[in-house]
A = this chain, B = another copy of it.
């Protein structure tokens, strides 16, 4: 019954979170470690130092992904955990970092207990998960799994005119490990939810079954600029009204679809943007997400039909541009079952849920059995210095990660099952 007594050292984990959070610290308790900046290098150096202190064999690949491996009794592929340590410009200290540092804490706990595993255990951090400096986001895990050619990623130009390849070389993280990498035996990522569901419902562990598909569309509406006083309603081609109609339509669509469907208009601009002028141009974005690809496509088709109706009704021209499109990613059901079982054995409340945000795990899911563990984000706040997860939830999540990794790596009999 080793599984039931082996626990992570919460104090040590929290200390590492605080120490990494001090690198690129910004006012309010947050972090600014944009990918491949000096601050990111300092964070990488700290984490790679910890990996080496824990006896891991550290390799860095050509896109800067770092993997620390603890040897197993056998030579099979590693059971991998990890996440990312880059942040948005005004990020918190948990997003990404928790998954990497909890992985190190699992290693430290096994080291302390002198426990070996059949499969090697690996802890990775992937380059530029956030995409805040270089697009696309999840760049490191895309290259790691072969979904994005290395050369294309290296040529990517950032918001500051720099390129990924040059910045990797500059900070000393253009490594030599091959990409795509060999597929792990399995991948598990612990992450803060970044949404309000677990916190609202008082549940400690989210069993992430899938990552929502994302459809981002930029919509440009072209009407006619008119005097707001002298132009009768019937003679208007009001780009602003058409934009408002789209805002209302996507809300109604989300309500009608229900389930996991969400819909957001987050960005809008009117031209000339004057109180007494009917806008002749409006640009807005629609963000549609669903865990079901068929439903997401239906939502996109209904939006397109609404735009057609608007063209007819308001005599406006409408142009659309796809800003991003990812299909939903289902995680391995057996992996989800495993997470749920271990969490319950540990007396934790669980909830099956999708991830509304993108994560490195969704790339790994293409090459090996993958799932994610969520812990609550207070008030759902993330990408914000006020991001916070209660210490006991961090500890609970790390202990579930420990149990799941041990089982996958072949040390411990499955909880509740004969050895």
Give the oligomeric copy count: 2
Q: Interface on chain A toward B: helix, strand, loop, or mixed SS?
A: mixed
In the complex, the answer to whether B267 meets A274 with C-beta atoms within 8 Å is: yes
- 26 of the cross-chain contacts (CB-CB < 8 Å) are A193-B230, A195-B227, A196-B226, A216-B275, A218-B275, A225-B384, A226-B380, A228-B289, A229-B262, A229-B355, A229-B356, A231-B356, A231-B380, A240-B264, A240-B268, A241-B247, A243-B247, A243-B268, A244-B245, A244-B246, A245-B247, A247-B247, A266-B270, A266-B275, A267-B273, A275-B287
Closest to A279 in B: B266
Among B264, B270, B287, contact of A268 (Cβ-Cβ < 8 Å): B270
Among B200, B235, B262, contact of A200 (Cβ-Cβ < 8 Å): B235
Residues in B with CB closer than 8 Å to A196 are 226, 230-232, 235
> Is A265 interfacial (CB 8 A cutoff)?
yes
Residues in B with CB closer than 8 Å to A285 are 275
Cβ < 8 Å to B, chain A residues 322-365 = 323, 355-358
Complex-state Cα separation, A232 to B291, whole angstroms: 13
Besides A238-B264, A243-B244, 16 other A-B contacts (C-beta < 8 A): A196-B230, A197-B232, A228-B262, A228-B264, A228-B266, A230-B355, A230-B380, A233-B254, A233-B255, A235-B380, A240-B264, A240-B265, A241-B248, A243-B268, A245-B247, A268-B269
> Is A399 interfacial (CB 8 A cutoff)?
no
Complex-state Cα separation, A226 to B382, whole angstroms: 8
In the complex, the answer to whether B357 meets A227 with C-beta atoms within 8 Å is: yes
In the complex, the answer to whether B262 meets A266 with C-beta atoms within 8 Å is: no
Cβ < 8 Å to B, chain A residues 171-222 = 193-197, 200, 212, 214, 216, 218
In which size bucket is the chain A interface? 35 or more
Quote the shortest CB–CB distance from A167 to chain B (angstroms): 24
In the complex, the answer to whether B214 meets A241 with C-beta atoms within 8 Å is: no
In the complex, the answer to whether A275 meets B267 with C-beta atoms within 8 Å is: yes
Complex-state Cα separation, A233 to B196, whole angstroms: 11
In the complex, the answer to whether A228 meets B287 with C-beta atoms within 8 Å is: yes
In the complex, the answer to whether B230 meets A382 with C-beta atoms within 8 Å is: yes
Interface residues, chain A, with chain B CB atoms under 8 Å away: 193-197, 200, 212, 214, 216, 218, 225-233, 235, 238, 240-241, 243-248, 251, 254-255, 261-270, 273-279, 285, 287, 289, 323, 355-358, 380, 382-384
In the complex, the answer to whether A244 meets B247 with C-beta atoms within 8 Å is: yes
In the complex, the answer to whether A356 meets B227 with C-beta atoms within 8 Å is: yes
Quote the shortest CB–CB distance from A225 to chain B (angstroms): 8
Given A248-B248, A270-B267, A273-B267, A229:B279 Cβ within 8 A: no
Residues in B with CB closer than 8 Å to A218 are 275
Complex-state Cα separation, A254 to B228, whole angstroms: 12
In the complex, the answer to whether A276 meets B247 with C-beta atoms within 8 Å is: no
In the complex, the answer to whether A229 meets B289 with C-beta atoms within 8 Å is: yes
Quote the shortest CB–CB distance from A282 to chain B (angstroms): 8
In the complex, the answer to whether A229 meets B248 with C-beta atoms within 8 Å is: no
Closest to A214 in B: B229
Quote the shortest CB–CB distance from A361 to chain B (angstroms): 15
Complex-state Cα separation, A233 to B251, whole angstroms: 8
Among B265, B277, B357, B380, contact of A266 (Cβ-Cβ < 8 Å): B277
Given A227-B194, A278-B264, A240:B247 Cβ within 8 A: yes
